[in-house]
Amino acid sequence: MAWNDKRPLSPHLQIYKLPLTAYVSIGNRAAGVVNCIAMVLLVSVIAAASGAGDSSTILWLVNSWFGKLVLFGFTLSLYFHMCNGIRHLFWDVGHGFDVDTATKTAKVSIGVAVALTIITWIVASAS
């Protein structure tokens, strides 16, 4: 390789595609942060529902389409973080470290999180 070669010396994000397991790992950390923020919203909704202070604004927000979208996202975040926590429990005992198994369990955790979220919202809207 010549010194005047313009190619990058390391794989930059523009040319290197992260594997699914990397995206799931990043998503798991982001879901943990989102869940912490969701707890603040949940406490606000519970306080508003119990009659503490002026509840009209927060209850209007939760019942709007945007509020339902945010709550749907929080539900998905909770289930995604839970499914990846179960996946990590298997890793803690030494199972599932090879690349094929890690990729399959990443796909399963995404699928189960989406399915549980949809089931939860179907059951909640039916009652």
The range of the structural domain enclosing residue 27 comes to: 22-126
Q: What is the pLDDT along the chain (127 residues), one digit of tens a residue?
A: 556 667 666 666 677 788 999 999 999 999 999 999 999 888 877 887 787 666 777 778 878 999 899 999 999 999 999 999 999 999 999 999 999 999 999 999 999 999 999 999 999 999 7
Q: Per the domain annotation, does 16 fall within a domain?
A: no
When divided into structural domains, the chain yields a total of 1
Cβ proximity of 77 and 83 under 8 Å: no
Q: What does the alpha-carbon distance between residue 76 and residue 127 come to, in Å, rounded to a whole number?
A: 20
Q: Is residue 6 part of a domain?
A: no
| CA 113 – CA 34 distance, rounded (Å) | 15
CATH number for position 69: 1.20.1300.10
